[in-house]
Chain A
Amino acid sequence: MNALGKTRITGLAVEAGHTGAALAEPARATTPVVRVENVRKSFGDNIVLDGIDLTVPAGTALVIIGASGSGKSTLLRCVNLLEPVDGGRIFFEGEEITRKGVKVPAVRQRIGIVFQQFNLFPHLRVLDNLTLAARRVGHVRRREAEERAHELLGRVGLVDKARSYPHQLSGGQQQRVAIARALMMRPHVMLFDEVTSALDPELVGEVLVVMRDLAHEGMTMLVVTHEMQFARDVGDHLIFMDGGKIVEQGKPAEVLDRPQAERTKRFLRRTLQLADSLEELTIDEGGVR
């Protein structure tokens, strides 16, 4: 009883005081890392997120698919507070991060994000790209930061590129540096926003392998992607978004192989990777059918 109480308190102080029923619940380790509750977001008249609910348990990989404009990138950006939500709430490890007065930089240090365009700092060498935030806001000494940076560069297979500038690297290498940079802050969750969409086809694999390994090591991940094979192999849960709503969700293989909703079926048909051949596809005013 005593030991159980202790684990609960480390998770979240607010709920630790609850009695009886609360204590009977599973231990604090099961607090979802990310919980999104009825989140709404518009840009002008354009409703981008229309009441999104989702839960990402620790150590799982959530894959988000959908056509461009379906709101999937905006959803990720809301989780990292790069976009303010219009309504609803987002919880990170049990704490509401969409409330007023939350320390935004502190939250972001715990939530790593990797962008489609890499966004490496062009004026800094790879090593300094990695150590910048750790030294400036993580208050890690330069030597320690550089040791960790080298270790992470080793994990993404780029130890020999520490002294290079971003523009000297290929897209795939830059993206792996970006992943290592995000990992420097020891995030509790990683967000991947179409990280292979800007890459040449032959460079996609090296980035996906790094992400796969990360998932296998137990990193909690939210992955927006068009890589259906990755979704199938690495994802624990998959959601299909359309028009700012979650249209369908479930085990990746189930949704991909036996989509139920008409919109999911149409989207998957249009996604060339899943069509048996280009010959199957026709085009009309609504796009590919």
Chain B
Amino acid sequence: MLAANFDWQFIWDHLPDFWEGLKQTLKVAGIGIAGSLAIGIVLGAARAHRVPVVSWLAATYVEVIRNTPILVQIFFIAGALPHFPGHPIRLEPFTIAWLAVVIWGGAYNTENFRAGFEAVPYRYREAGLALGLGRLGTFFNVTLPIGARIALPSTINTNVSVLKNTSLLTAIGFAELTNTAYSLESESFKATEVYFALGVTYLIVVWTLSLLIRVVERRLALPEAR
């Protein structure tokens, strides 16, 4: 139970701070979701159609990302890249932030879309080819619309995780929602109030996103599955 001396006023007073942090979180998550979907579609297609070289590179990328903690990936981008021997890469905190979640989500979405494209029965692609759509035309008009719909439910999990994983960016001091709360707590020592408010905020935001995507999913589902 929340203690009787729970300071609601503190939360109320610092809502603007939470809002600032939330804005950063949403910005990074938005770019993260859009970017990881784009990467997922392109590399997923390359994997499913076994495009030489690209498919192999994509497989390596997916394995590296899936088998290392995202926190390590964030530290690598933020810490190791600027000290890259011979060719240091300097990045803005905001760039590091969205890059990290795009790269992470992209790997998972590559797998999601690969599975989706591979699940498209060959006879539909064959029908596209037989109509003279060509390989690229068949991909864009047949494999992509059908495969993406098959992949949609699993991409939802990834997209929600992208949003939640932005909280790990606090480790590099990026002022997103969690980091904002952490700063507030260290100034005020009101841990209960701050982290309660933080949790509730995430709950509302992630829940809203899930509902939103579910609506989109239902609208996009294959007609026979509606």
Contact = CB atoms under 8 A, between A and B. Distances in A.
Interface of A: 80, 82, 104-109, 112-113, 115, 117, 119-123, 132-133, 136-137, 165-168, 181-182, 185
B133 interface: yes
Contacts of A137: 131-134, 137
Tell me whether chain B's interface is mostly helix, strand or loop, or mixed.
Answer: helix
Contacts of A104: 134
A168 B226 CA distance: 12
Contact of B223 (A123, A133, A182): A123
Contact of A123 (B134, B137, B145): B145
Contacts of A112: 130
B60 interface: no
A166 B127 CA distance: 14
Q: How large is the interface on B (under 10, 10 to 19, 20 to 34, 35 or more residues)?
A: 20 to 34
B123 interface: yes
Contacts of B131: 108-109, 132-133, 137, 181-182, 185
Interface of B: 123-124, 126-134, 137, 141-142, 145-146, 149, 222-224
Given A166-B223, A181-B131, 10 more contacts: A106-B132, A112-B130, A115-B126, A115-B127, A115-B130, A119-B124, A122-B146, A122-B223, A123-B149, A133-B132
A262 B175 CA distance: 85
From A104, A107, A115, A136, name the one whose CB has the most chain B CB atoms within 10 angstroms. Answer: A136
Contacts of A166: 223
B130 A120 contact: no
A133 B133 contact: yes
A123 B146 contact: yes
Identify the 10 closest CB pairs spanning chains A and B, nearest first: A109-B132, A133-B131, A119-B127, A167-B224, A165-B223, A108-B132, A105-B134, A105-B132, A119-B123, A113-B130
B133 A136 contact: yes
Contacts of B130: 80, 82, 108, 112-113, 115, 182
